[in-house]
Structure 1
Amino acid sequence: MQRLGSLEAVVMQRLWDAPGPMTVREVMTELQAERSIAYTTAMTVLDHLTKKGMVVRTKQGRAFSYSPTRSREDRVAELMGQALAESANRDVALMRFVENMSTDEAAQLRKLLAETEAPGRPDRSAP
């Protein structure tokens, strides 16, 4: 999995929040409220994200537009999986994660686990 630099992460947040694909100029304009970046910087960041497989580039007239290749939630799940893979003991790491959840988050987790184990639900691990 590709790690993101700080500016790449900010650009991805904007792309995930956008209602549709964004051009380099739109990304640059969107970032202006937070930080001043040059058009070429925005273009370079989007090019890096394309090479990392995080965004797809589509020709729109004379410009390109960029869209995320996966959802924010898929990215977070991927990061969580990577963090677990780095642990020598996944069970302990998961336990620490659950212990640090709020009461509401733990209740939501129990609900999701119950839904996952519900009879008749397809097995996601099956090919």
Structure 2
Amino acid sequence: MESDVLAALWAADGPLTARDVRGRLRGDLAYTTVLTILSRLYDKGMLARHREGRGYAYEPVRDEASHTAQRMHSLLKGGSDREAVLARFVSELSEQDERLLHQLLSGHDGILPDNRRSPGER
């Protein structure tokens, strides 16, 4: 459910109240359930909030790409055989994703060279 709430917030043009989030979700979640999920995400540091009326409006502190990349790093860090995990990941990429990854790693996109870190810094 947290991922559905985050997806609704990422798709929004700005901060959303619990009622707004509930309206964007599929299914019939109770308002209090949505409020609980938002509060937990806020407590985890994943959302920012500001007062709006008697409640709060919430927005993600990171964009979806940053959030997903952080999750991938955490999973990789938690594995016992980093090389095997990376090898399996790369072997299962589509040809298009493989080309994109190669382009990103070689710095031909103009993004990575300034942000590249040595393996010991990860």
Q: Give the structure-2-normalised TM-score.
A: 0.85
Q: Distance in 1 between matches of 2:87 and 2:116?
A: 23
Q: Helix, strand or coil for the counterpart of 1:67?
A: strand
Q: What amino acid sits opposite 2:97 in the alignment? A: E
Is 1:56 the counterpart of 2:44? The answer is no
Q: CA RMSD in A?
A: 2.2
Q: Helix, strand or coil for the counterpart of 2:28?
A: coil
Aligned residues: 117
Name the residue aligned to 1:29: 23
Among 88, 112, 119, the residue aligned to 2:80: 88
- Deviation string 1:30-79 (CA, Å, 9 cap, x unpaired) is 11xx1101221111111111111111111123331000011111111111
Could you list the runs of 4 or more consecutive aligned residues of structure 1 that deviate by over 3 angstroms after TM superposition? 123-127
* Residue 85 of structure 1, CA deviation: 1.2
- Deviation string 1:81-117 (CA, Å, 9 cap, x unpaired) is 1111122221121111000001111011111111179
Moved more, 57-66 or 68-77: 57-66
* Residue 123 of structure 1, CA deviation: 5.3
Q: Helix, strand or coil for the counterpart of 2:48?
A: strand
CA distance change for structure 1 residues 63 and 13 in 2, over 3 Å: closer, same or farther?
same
Q: Distance in 2 between matches of 1:8 and 1:40?
A: 14
Q: Helix, strand or coil for the counterpart of 2:114?
A: coil
CA distance change for structure 1 residues 23 and 117 in 2, over 3 Å: closer, same or farther?
closer
Name the residue aligned to 1:78: 70
Name the residue aligned to 1:10: 4
Q: What amino acid sits opposite 1:111 in the alignment? A: Q
